[in-house]
Copies of this chain bind each other. A is one copy, B any other.
Amino acid sequence: VKKHERRPGERAGLGRDAVLAAAQALSAEAGIDGLSMRRVADRLGVAPNALYSYFADKAALLDALLDWLLVGIELPPADQDWRGGLAALMAATRRHLLAHPHLITLYLSRPGRGPNAIHLGEVMLSLLARAGVTGPPAVEALRILLIYTFGFAAHEAPRRGDPDPAARTAGSEAAFRGASGDPRMQALAGPLAQHADDVTFATGLRWLLAGIAGR
């Protein structure tokens, strides 16, 4: 909001990472609809068009942001069997995505060819190879697992901490879960729903892994 007080000609010293960090922080506060180039620039104390020194356009910034959010997904221990390893990896991926509920939606509509997305795919392929699944069938299994994991996270994201849209449907959600009225029930609704989500996610994942094992 407030420019950082620089003399004319003085550099702000942004860099791509600073822009991405600002964009992520902004989306956490204002949601996906509040994520604009101008507001990111504002947050950095910089003119709107300054961002175009680092990203060709808004789409390029979003692509970079999504890949940036995949950094640091917990990898399963190397001595685990392929099935437990894949289950742990997909669960960790879902948890990681849910840390940024506002941005999950974007993943489904974008290619996902960033370096971190590719690395995740490679780890999955090495686990599948240990199951004896390689080549085209491995790519097929990988795709199914990724769609399930990202789709699941995208589907439960609106129920999570999305600031504005959540408020819109919060009432019907509570009613749907029979938790309207009693505030103690409402306090339980969140954790209860999350637990149900965890169980449901694990169930579908188990079915898919059983299918992969049966190849």
Using a CB–CB distance below 8 Å, which chain A residues touch chain B?
59, 104-105, 108-111, 113, 140, 143-144, 147-148, 150-152, 154-155, 157-158, 168-169, 172, 199-200, 203-204, 206-208, 210-212
Separation of A157 and B148 alpha carbons in the complex (Å): 16
Residues of B within 8 A of A157 (CB): 109
Residues of chain B contacted by A199 (CB below 8 angstroms): 140
Q: Is the CB of B140 within 8 A of A151?
A: no
Report the nearest B residue to A149, measured CB to CB: B151
A204 and B144 contact, Cβ closer than 8 Å, known pairs A108-B108, A151-B150? yes
Partner of A147, one of B110, B152, B211, B212: B152
CB pair A204 B208 closer than 8 Å: yes
Q: Do A109 and B158 touch across chains, with their CB atoms under 8 A apart?
A: yes
Given A154-B151, A211-B210, A144 and B109 contact (CB-CB distance below 8 Å) = no
Indicate if the CB atoms of B111 and A158 lie closer than 8 Å. Answer: yes
Pairs A–B under 8 Å by Cβ, sample size 13: A104-B109, A105-B108, A108-B154, A110-B158, A111-B172, A144-B203, A147-B151, A148-B151, A150-B151, A204-B211, A206-B211, A208-B211, A210-B210
**Nearest-CB distance from A64 to chain B (Å)?**
15
How far is the CB of A55 from the nearest CB of chain B, in Å? 14
Shortest Cβ gap from A118 to chain B (Å)? 12
Inter-chain CA distance A210–B215, complex, in Å, is 13
* Residues of the B chain whose Cβ atoms lie less than 8 Å from the Cβ of A210: 207, 210-211
What 10 pairs between A and B have smallest CB-CB spacing? A151-B151, A207-B211, A144-B204, A105-B109, A108-B154, A147-B151, A140-B200, A147-B155, A147-B152, A108-B108
Q: Which of B104, B109, B143 is close to A200, meaning CB atoms less than 8 Å apart?
A: B143
